[in-house]
Amino acid sequence: MKTGLFFRMLLLVLLVMPLAGNVWAAPRLESENPKVDFGRVREGASVTQVFRFRNVGDATLVISGVRTSCGCTAAVLSSREIPPGEVGEVRAIFRSNGFRGRVIKTVTLSVNDPQRREVSFQLTGDVVPLISLDPQVVMIEGLVPGGEKEQKVTLTNHGDRPVKLSALRTTGHGIGASLDHDIIPPGGTATLRVQVQWPEKGVSRIAGYVLLQTDQPQIPVLRLTVRGYPRK
């Protein structure tokens, strides 16, 4: 009786052990290059970076979702299922139109790794503007009813070709602007004069933009923010 019971228990253990192994099997994502600095690029350029990762677990890694930090960055997966021991890739494409200075963009994967349900990859670098504006925002204070103030803005061409400017216009009540010349040679500058006139009554602040078209496809429009405030 005891011998038969022993063998029955042993058989039960042998049957359960493979099932237990399957229950505890799990994927595990290991990143090869989670952070990449692409250096410096000219405004309007696209940056492509491939992030690689490996499934070092013993079950299939499933990627259920992909999201990016903004619409300027796209992400493409090599596959949504990565078997144990295999390598997966996510291709990140950052479009720098409209960006200047330091940028940080992320791609986040939702995965079935029990140790971390989300994994992020980071793309950083500096975007050099084709045309810089100094200052980048016009802020005029101390305006009186019927009075007007002017501020100069320097436009600098950092590219290797002349830039032609056209179709100067403003938005917002009381904002005016003029440009000293419409072609900026490589390394050259142009001066934009911005005027803000405060009305006699009826407003608490002035807000609008100065807009300029360019002949450069990567930056078809330059936009300068303008703000005006009354004297306190």
Q: What per-residue confidence (pLDDT) applies to 1?
A: 47
Find the range with the poorest average confidence among 36-45, 59-68, 156-165, 194-203: 194-203
Q: What is the pLDDT of residues 72-130, one digit of tens each?
A: 999 999 999 999 999 999 999 999 987 888 999 999 999 999 999 999 999 999 998 88
With a cut of 80, say whether residue 38 has pLDDT above it.
Answer: yes
pTM: predicted TM-score of the whole model, two decimal places: 0.66
State the average pLDDT over residues 159-165: 92
Q: Residue 175: which of 153, 145, 149 has the closest Cα?
A: 149
The predicted structure's pLDDT at residue 64: 96
Q: What pLDDT was estimated at residue 14? A: 53
Supply the pLDDT for residue 2: 55
The predicted structure's pLDDT at residue 98: 77
Q: What share of the chain is helix, strand, coil (3-state, %, to 5)?
A: 10, 55, 35
Instruction: Reply yes or no on whether the pLDDT at 9 is more than 50.
Output: yes
Q: Torsion angle of alpha carbons 140, 141, 146, 151, nearest 10°?
A: -30
Average pLDDT over residues 38-65: 94
pLDDT for the residue 227: 94
Q: Which residue has the tokens 């200052």?
A: 135
- Dihedral angle sign, alpha carbons of residues 40, 42, 43, 45: negative
Query: pLDDT at position 21, please?
Result: 47
Per residue in 10-34, pLDDT tens? 555 555 555 444 557 899 999 988 9
Say what the pLDDT of residue 223 is.
92
Average pLDDT over residues 157-167: 92
Which carries the bigger pLDDT value, residue 224 or residue 159? 224
Supply the pLDDT for residue 31. Answer: 92
Instruction: Report d(CA 27, CA 22) in Å as an integer.
Output: 12
pLDDT level of residue 231 (50, 70, 90 thresholds): confident
Average pLDDT, the chain: 89
**Domains of the chain with CATH codes:** 26-128 (2.60.40.10), 131-230 (2.60.40.10)
Residue 20: per-residue pLDDT: 47
- For the segment 126-137, the average pLDDT, to the nearest whole number, is 91
Average pLDDT over every residue of 181-190: 95
Contacts of 75 (CB under 8 A, 6+ apart): 66, 67, 68, 90, 91, 92, 93, 107
With bands split at pLDDT 50, 70 and 90, how would you rate the model's confidence at 54? very high
Q: Are 211 and 221 in contact (CB under 8 A)?
A: yes
